[in-house]
Structures are given as C-alpha cells and as structure tokens.
Amino acid sequence: MDYQKLIEEVYDEIQKENPRGKVATYIPELANVDPDQFGIALVDLKGNVFGVGDYQTAFSIQSVSKVHTLAMVFHVFKSKLWSRVNVEPSGNPFNSIAQLEFEKGIPRNPFINAGALVITDALYSKFERPTDQISDFINELSGRSCVRINQEVKESEKNHAERNTALAYFLKAHKNFDNKVEDVLDVYFAQCAIEMSCEDLAKSFSFLANDGYSIFAKREIVSESHARRINALMLTCGFYDESGEFAFRVGLPGKSGVGGGIAAVMPHKFSVAVWCPELNDKGNSVKSIKALELLTDKLKFSLF
C-alpha cells in the first residue's frame, strides 16, 4: 500500500472541497490559530512516517491528551479504575453536567470532561510530578522531546474554567475526587495545552495499533488486553455525541480535541493524526473527520 500517495490524494480532495467549520472560542487563546492549516501524518508499524500539508506544525492537542493520561492511569490502577468511571458512550456534549447528577457522580466514560477529570485526579494521587510526567510519557511515546505546554492556552482555559470547576466540585461532592480541585485542574489544563505535531501525535498513538508495544519507546506501554480496551473506548466514546457517526463514517478508534486534531489507529497496521482547527457544532474538526472518512473509503477497509 502506497500510504504517501493515499494521504496526498485525501489531502488534495479535501482541500478542493474545502468544508468549513468554526474555530473554538470558549478558550479565547485557541481562537488565535490560523484556520487554514491542515495536515495529515500516518505512521506504520515499522516507524515509517508519511505526511502531507502542515503535518509537522505543532497545535493544541486538547482532549486527545485524555488517551495518554488514561494509558498512564490504567497501567497503575488496572480494572479498579472502573469503579470510578464508566465505559459507556454518553450521548451528551463533552462538557455536560446533567448526566453526572443522574448517575451519582460516576462519569459515563474517561473521555468526557467529567471522566477525564477523575483520571487526572487518580494520576495526581499516584505521580509525584504529574504535569512533568505526562510530558515525559508523551515524549517517550513519540520517540523524541516534542511536547511543549503552551502557557497562554493553559492560562486562557484557567480563566474560563467555570464548567470544569463545577464538574470537579460535583465529583468531590460524590466522593469521587480525592485531591484539591485547583491542583488537579492545573494538571488537567496543562495536559490540554500540550502542543505537538501530527507526526509526533501519530507516533505517540502507535502503541495502540501495536498491541500496547511502542516501537518508539521500545517497550510495552500497556498490556495487549489494555490496548484493546482503550481502543474500544475510543471507538465508542472518542467523539462524544458524535461517536456513533464517526464509527459509521470512518470505522476506526480515535480521539478528537477542540484544537482540531484527531488521532486514530488501525490495529496491526498504522496510527494516523489529522489536524485542521475548524470544528463542527459537536467540537470535532470538520476537515479531519472528512479526511479520515476518505482515507478508510480509499483503503477499502477499517475495523469493519
């Protein structure tokens, strides 16, 4: 399979069609990005990198980091984690508060904000330097020191943190949050403000296409069974209330972020990251979703 030709064809077709959305503005600093940037990077299991467009430009990975923190915490807590967070699609927006009340402080899954806050709280309890260790972990997965935390983006989110703060206090009211809210939020905003390129992001997801073993870190990151479970969660919950639509159109486990990035994997074949900042009304990148749909259409295979 000529992956370079494939992603170039996908890139050209999407650029010709040029579907548009709107950049995220609820974190004001994210609105300063050039909306015309678009890149695709695909990494096979031998470590070959195929890239097109702005695939080496660093961007705000936002919620894509929820997969990295889940992998760190899953490895430590194993199945005990699932007493604090569920594994069901939420069918609700990523920052929804309502469901958490009905379900007595147990978030639906680790990828909605409430669930990710529980994961970061668990991480905070076990790791001595949580923010540095998240960066170190992602650097290791990417095979080089690529992670930069954009302090302006972090501060911008901190200054508009009403919903995430409300979620954290609500979790605390239900005894599902062990540490100080401000401390955990500081780590959560730092992980969301990580900037890296499509190339590095695709490399950092490679272990999930490879039964838990990272060819870049040269070690097992999670067991084969944990890798399969993280992939199942990405397939069912990675795109919030658009997860069914993504599975239907693309058919790969993946995770989106409001910076416009999506990382996805085709188990036993490749990992891929796509980035374009303009989003649809569910907070997922319009061009990135279309690009991945075209990719699996042209490949004539997905998970299914």
Known binding positions: 63, 113, 157, 164, 188, 240, 258
Of 101-130, binders to ligand DON (CB under 6 A) are: 113
| Contacts with 43 (C-beta within 8 Å, 6 or more apart), sequence order | 49, 50, 199, 202, 203, 206, 270, 271, 272
Cβ-based nearer residue to ligand DON, 113 or 131: 113
Min dist. Cβ of residue 223 to ligand DON (A) = 27
Q: Does 157 bind ligand DON (CB under 6 A)?
A: yes
Q: Is 55 a catalytic residue?
A: no
Q: Is 3 a catalytic residue?
A: no
Longest dimension (CA), the chain: 53
Q: What is the distance of C-alpha 3 from the center of its chain?
A: 23
Sole binder of ligand DON in the list 63, 109, 120, 243 (CB under 6 A): 63
Q: What is the distance of C-alpha 119 from the center of its chain?
A: 14
The stretch near ligand DON (CB under 6 A) out of 195-203, 205-213, 230-238, 250-258 is: 250-258
233: left (phi over 0), alpha (psi -120 to 50) or beta: alpha
Order across the sheet with 148-149: list the strands.
Answer: 59-60, 194-196, 148-149
Of the residues 3, 11, 55, 240, only one is catalytic, namely 240
Of the residues 3, 11, 64, 66, only one is catalytic, namely 66
Q: Is 172 a catalytic residue?
A: no
Q: Is 250 a catalytic residue?
A: no
Pairing type for strands 148-149 and 59-60 reads unpaired
- Residues annotated within a binding site for substrate: 63, 113, 157, 164, 188, 240, 258
212 near 227, Cβ under 8 Å?
yes
Sole binder of ligand DON in the list 142, 283, 289, 293 (CB under 6 A): 283
Of the residues 135, 188, 243, 302, only one is catalytic, namely 188
264 near 303, Cβ under 8 Å?
no
d(CA 8, CA 235): 25
Q: Is 188 a catalytic residue?
A: yes
d(CA 243, CA 237): 6
Q: Does 90 bind ligand DON (CB under 6 A)?
A: no
Of the residues 60, 63, 204, 256, only one is catalytic, namely 63
Cβ-based nearer residue to ligand DON, 62 or 210: 62
Q: Does 95 bind ligand DON (CB under 6 A)?
A: yes
187 near 120, Cβ under 8 Å?
yes
The stretch near ligand DON (CB under 6 A) out of 75-83, 175-183, 255-263, 266-274 is: 255-263
d(CA 102, CA 92): 13
Q: Does 191 bind ligand DON (CB under 6 A)?
A: no
The stretch near ligand DON (CB under 6 A) out of 45-53, 209-217, 251-259, 263-271 is: 251-259
Min dist. Cβ of residue 283 to ligand DON (A) = 4
d(CA 12, CA 5): 11
The stretch near ligand DON (CB under 6 A) out of 102-110, 203-211, 253-261, 291-299 is: 253-261
Q: Does 257 bind ligand DON (CB under 6 A)?
A: yes
d(CA 280, CA 260): 10
DSSP-based three-state secondary structure for 143: coil
Sole binder of ligand DON in the list 11, 94, 205, 246 (CB under 6 A): 94
Min dist. Cβ of residue 112 to ligand DON (A) = 9
